[in-house]
Structure 1
Amino acid sequence: MGLFDVFKKKEEAPAVAEPQVPAAVEAASGDDVLCAPVAGRVIAMADTPDPVFSGEVLGKGCSILPEEETVYAPLSGTVIVTMGHAVGIMGDTGIEVLVHVGIDTVSMEGKGFTGYVKQGDKVVAGQPVITMDRAAIKEAGFADCVVLAVSNTPEFASVDLAVEPEAQVAAGEAVIRVTR
């Protein structure tokens, strides 16, 4: 060791980079409007390739066959649960939603997903909440559809599509209307 080696900084462990959060999208507004959490083709909940969702066990809503990997908050509210592949939000107007990315992706144990929110966070409609790796989901053998379910459906007069099934939507576009 030389004389000046004493003054050299010890090598620090490399910092873990925080995930780069994608930009928010403009979202349709309205107390009883849910926005598309991802751009893609809308499919009726009954046609979602999972009996729990298609049977509306977790609530009425729809699925979207995505064209992109960023998933956005469908309404403004408070995050009540995050699970890597899913996020639950209690809307400021009392609408409770589950945004579930993929079918059977719970078995991926968070691999292929980057979350940007945690329980208790306030979110606004159009804010990024999850990014999915669509290739990893398909490689694992799962469908990558994004399910949007109103989990407290019985509290409302109706939960209906605001667009036709098979419609192409942009992230942030109104897809569900809730009637009180």
Structure 2
Amino acid sequence: MGLFDMFKKKEPAAPAKPASVSATAAPDTLCAPANGRVIAMTDVPDPVFSGEVLGKGCAVWPEDDIVYAPVSGTVTVTMGHAVGLSTDDGVEVLVHIGVDTVNLQGKGFTGYVKQGDTVKAGDPVIKMDRNVIKEAGYPDCVVLAVSNTAEFAGVELAVEPEATVTAGTPVVKVVR
């Protein structure tokens, strides 16, 4: 150790990535991105999502802070509060945490993936701080949307609205 080494700032250690969860990754099936209660997309407290402008799907009111990949595929985009994924068979998925959370400018979110990464359903993709989201006055629902819905015959819930699910449970089915 040199004389001035004690004055150097130490880089904070990267947060440990949580373990993956077991996910039932079947073709054309999207798994719950979080533990919690499922709601229909039309019940998301945001007109863009509830109007299905960004695609059909559902949302989960989360019970904890880890958000998992709902499908196996490639990360197409990352933002602090959202991640886009594309499956090998052409399903494009948006996982969006909260409503209006873009205004937090990344505060309260830790990403575990970057654009171009390959993920498996059940891999952790983002950690959110639900307290930061709630203190800012935003709902913390985790939205799961098939962004290329128009390319399919349908996108349907695979569970009843209000069902309590664990991350990795099938919640949305894409119909070809």
Shorter-chain TM-score bucket reads over 0.9
Scaled by the length of structure 1, the TM-score of the pair is: 0.94
Secondary structure, aligned partner of 1:20: coil
Offset at residue 75 of structure 1 (A): 0.3
Offset at residue 105 of structure 1 (A): 0.2
> Separation in 2 of the partners of 1:98 and 1:31?
17
Q: 1:44 matched to which residue of 2?
A: 40
Secondary structure, aligned partner of 1:118: coil
The runs of 4+ residues in structure 1 deviating greater than 3 Å are: 6-9
The code of the aligned residue for 1:153 comes to T
In the alignment, structure 1 residue 105 sits paired with structure 2 residue 101 = yes
Q: 2:66 matched to which residue of 1?
A: 70
> Separation in 1 of the partners of 2:46 and 2:2?
62
Offset at residue 9 of structure 1 (A): 7.4
The one of 20, 27, 33 aligned to 1:31:
27
> Separation in 1 of the partners of 2:37 and 2:102?
23
> Separation in 2 of the partners of 1:139 and 1:10?
39
> Separation in 2 of the partners of 1:19 and 1:150?
30
Secondary structure, aligned partner of 1:106: helix
Alignment of 1:89-104 (within 5 A): 89-104=85-100
- Give a deviation string over 1:137-176, Cα, whole Å, max 9, x none: 0000000000000000011111000000000000000000
Q: 1:140 matched to which residue of 2?
A: 136
Structure showing greater radius of gyration is 1
The code of the aligned residue for 2:5 comes to K
Q: 2:111 matched to which residue of 1?
A: 115
Secondary structure, aligned partner of 1:159: strand
Secondary structure, aligned partner of 1:131: strand
Scaled by the length of structure 2, the TM-score of the pair is: 0.96
Mark the runs of 5 or more structure 1 residues left unpaired by the alignment. 1-5
Secondary structure, aligned partner of 1:147: strand
Secondary structure, aligned partner of 1:57: coil
> Separation in 1 of the partners of 2:169 and 2:87?
17
Offset at residue 7 of structure 1 (A): 6.6
CA contact (8 A) 2:36 2:60 kept: yes
Compute the RMSD of aligned alpha carbons: 1.3
Q: 2:168 matched to which residue of 1?
A: 172
